[in-house]
């Protein structure tokens, strides 16, 4: 039995009964001392301390329980807010889907009305401007253009003017035969001839005189000159009207071809591609692609969707090469960001033989169509266009790695508003070359695609024939800009000699 007294006067007693075993391997007195030391060390916790610890523990538990209750309430509030926001989000999604559906409906209705109006106008212009007729030549059929009544009326007016001019010229010749003698001859008549003239007048009479009086002759001559001047003015007006009608006829022919291509397209019924792009109407058709004006339902903007359709009869190798070429163009074009370059927005596939690229939409036509309509432009307008092209080329040369466009021509320069006094954008990077360190050296890079591009706008070094492929650099685009500048100013293309074996053979060429 062990008794102990605490510091507050309270005593504690413990009883310890030890029954030593025979197998005890240590002294009993040492074990008892150790137990006593242990019991004495546990007597530092008093009842008050235990009560305080218990009270603190209860407070901590209450705080934790309160915190848990607060968190649970906050969690419930957040869940309630999430549910409300989720319901609101679903409501907004439903509204957005309704708005998109209504937008699609309105866009389709507008596009349908525009298509109908275009076809009605085209039918009206068929009689006025002309139309294509199918003509049989042996076993084959060809389309032949027939002018409308507007051109036929101008032709009749021109024929009438020509007939009147011939009549006036014939009358002037007759008038010249009756031209009176000159004043000098009449003032100094010969003495022998005067009696003969009097005798002739007396015999034949004044009404049979082959010569007119000077006043009558000059009056008639002045009338003929005025009539010829008036006919010349009418002819100039007819020529101006004919040129205007030819420009309108070019638009009419282009619209006829576009309508024919649109009616034969499988995408004519306003499909939505990639659940995003609503096709409105056809802009144009190329060799293996169609370009549609579309509306991006996500970004709410117009776009140009270029649909590439591979020929199903092609070999798989050729299809793979075409697709590889298109992917290469997409990778080059996607990284370009410049105000004078058409932006590439997206790229996706429809099936194994059809894929699409989404481009920035420009309302106007290209420079090639403008030059066909107006032949040429003023120096200020041409300079503005060339400055913008050079600005884009400088950007292509400053990026890393630099890029050669290689197919600069009026058909790849878009006029944003359709006029020569506005902004331009460069497009079509299908033949572009990347001047990376692996392919580009001091002398330039090898031209591995010789024969591609547009003949009129390529420099002489692209046509060099030899054992080694020709070397090119970004100067190819500089040459193209010069040719475009020349065509804008003079209304005709620059002609080059045939392919040569050395670039120095082309140093003395002259434009024709």
26-74 tens-digit pLDDT: 444 445 555 555 555 555 668 888 888 888 888 888 889 889 999 999 9
Q: What is the pLDDT of residue 424?
A: 95
Over residues 145-166, the pLDDT tens digits come to 899 999 999 999 999 999 999 9
The verdict on whether omega for the bond into residue 401 sits within 30 degrees of 0, i.e. cis, is yes
The annotation status of 233 as a binding-site residue, yes or no, is no
pLDDT at 385 over 80: yes
C-alpha closest to that of 342 among 438, 415, 259, 433:
415
167 noted as active-site residue: no
CATH code, domain with 392: 1.10.510.10
Looking at the domain assignment, is residue 215 inside a domain? yes
Q: Are residues 127 and 260 in the same domain?
A: yes
Tell me which DSSP letter residue 179 carries. Answer: P
Over its C-alpha atoms, the chain yields an Rg (Å, rounded) of 49
Q: Residue 440: which pLDDT band, with cuts at 50, 70 and 90?
A: low
Looking at 125, 407, 428, 477, which residue is catalytic? Answer: 407
Q: What is the pLDDT of residue 441?
A: 56
pLDDT at 266 over 80: yes
Looking at the domain assignment, is residue 196 inside a domain? no
Q: Are residues 287 and 353 in the same domain?
A: yes
pLDDT at 25 over 90: no
The domain total for the chain is 3
Q: Which domain holds residue 226?
A: 122-180+208-264
Q: What is the pLDDT of residue 277?
A: 96
Spatial strand order in the sheet of 301-309 = 272-273, 277-285, 289-296, 301-309, 354-360, 344-351
Spatial contact of 255 and 130, defined as CB atoms under 8 Å apart: no
Q: Are residues 214 and 155 in the same domain?
A: yes
Q: Considering only 64-68, 274-278, 455-459, 464-468, which range has the smallest mean pLDDT?
A: 464-468
In a 13 Å sphere around the CA of 233, the CA atoms on its Cβ side amount to: 6
Q: What is the pLDDT of residue 40?
A: 52
Average pLDDT in the chain: 81
Q: Which of 238, 264, 290 is the last residue of a domain?
A: 264
Q: Are residues 453 and 404 in the same domain?
A: yes
Q: Which of 243, 264, 285 is the last residue of a domain?
A: 264
Q: Are residues 260 and 278 in the same domain?
A: no
Tell me which DSSP letter residue 369 carries. Answer: H
Q: Are residues 461 and 478 in the same domain?
A: yes
Spatial contact of 412 and 362, defined as CB atoms under 8 Å apart: no
Q: What is the pLDDT of residue 8?
A: 47
Higher per-residue confidence, 131 vs 33: 131
- pLDDT above 70 covers what percent of the chain? 77
Spatial contact of 302 and 296, defined as CB atoms under 8 Å apart: yes
Q: Are residues 349 and 382 in the same domain?
A: no
Q: Which two tokens stand for residue 338?
A: 């410049």
Q: What is the pLDDT of residue 442?
A: 54
Higher per-residue confidence, 483 vs 11: 483
Q: Are residues 379 and 408 in the same domain?
A: yes
Q: Are residues 279 and 323 in the same domain?
A: yes
pLDDT at 506 over 80: no
> Which span out of 26-40, 193-207, 274-288, 290-304 was modeled with the highest average pLDDT?
290-304
């Amino acid at each position: 039995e062990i008794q102990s007294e605490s510091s507050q006067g309270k005593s504690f007693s413990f009883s310890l009964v030890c029954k030593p075993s025979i197998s005890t391997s240590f002294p009993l007195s040492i074990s008892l001392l150790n137990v006593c030391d242990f019991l004495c060390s546990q007597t530092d916790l008093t009842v008050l301390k235990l009560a305080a610890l218990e009270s603190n523990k209860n407070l901590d538990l209450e705080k934790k329980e309160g915190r848990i209750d607060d968190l649970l309430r906050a969690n419930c509030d957040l869940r309630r807010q999430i549910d409300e926001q989720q319901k609101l989000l679903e409501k907004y999604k439903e509204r957005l889907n309704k708005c998109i559906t209504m937008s699609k409906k309105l866009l389709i209705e507008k596009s349908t009305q525009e298509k109908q109006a275009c076809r009605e106008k085209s039918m009206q212009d068929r009689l006025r401007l002309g139309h294509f007729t199918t003509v049989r030549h042996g076993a084959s059929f060809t389309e032949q253009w027939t002018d409308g009544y507007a051109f036929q009326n101008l032709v009749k007016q021109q024929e009438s003017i020509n007939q009147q001019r011939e009549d006036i010229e014939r009358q002037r010749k007759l008038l010249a035969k009756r031209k009176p003698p000159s004043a000098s001859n009449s003032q100094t008549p010969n003495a022998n001839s005067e009696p003969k003239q009097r005798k002739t007048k007396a015999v034949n009479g004044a009404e049979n005189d082959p010569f007119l009086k000077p006043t009558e002759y000059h009056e008639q001559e002045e009338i003929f000159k005025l009539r010829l001047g008036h006919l010349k003015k009418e002819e100039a007006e007819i020529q101006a009207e004919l040129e205007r009608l030819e420009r309108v006829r070019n638009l009419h022919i282009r619209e006829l071809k576009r309508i024919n291509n649109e009616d034969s397209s499988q995408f004519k019924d306003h499909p939505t591609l990639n659940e995003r792009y609503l096709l409105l109407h056809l802009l144009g058709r190329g060799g293996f692609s169609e370009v549609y004006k579309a509306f991006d339902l996500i970004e709410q903007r117009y776009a140009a969707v270029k649909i590439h359709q591979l020929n199903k009869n092609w070999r798989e190798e050729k299809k793979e090469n075409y697709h590889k070429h298109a992917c290469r163009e997409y990778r080059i074009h996607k990284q370009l960001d410049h105000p004078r370059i058409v932006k590439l927005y997206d790229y996706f596939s429809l099936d194994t033989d059809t894929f699409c690229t989404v481009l920035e939409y420009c309302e106007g036509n290209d420079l090639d169509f403008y030059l066909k309509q107006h032949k040429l432009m003023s120096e200020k307008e041409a300079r503005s266009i060339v400055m913008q092209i050079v600005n884009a080329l400088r950007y292509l040369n400053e990026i890393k790695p630099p890029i050669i466009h290689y197919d600069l021509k009026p058909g790849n320069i878009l006029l944003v508003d359709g006029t020569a006094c506005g902004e331009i954008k460069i497009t079509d990077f299908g033949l572009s070359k990347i001047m990376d360190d692996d392919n580009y050296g001091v002398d330039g890079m090898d031209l591995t695609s010789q024969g591609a591009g547009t003949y009129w706008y390529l420099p002489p070094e692209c046509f060099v024939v030899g054992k080694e492929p020709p070397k090119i650099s970004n100067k190819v685009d500089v040459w193209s800009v010069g040719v475009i500048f020349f065509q804008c100013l003079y209304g005709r293309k620059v002609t080059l000699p045939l392919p040569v074996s050395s670039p120095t053979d082309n140093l003395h060429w002259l434009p024709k």
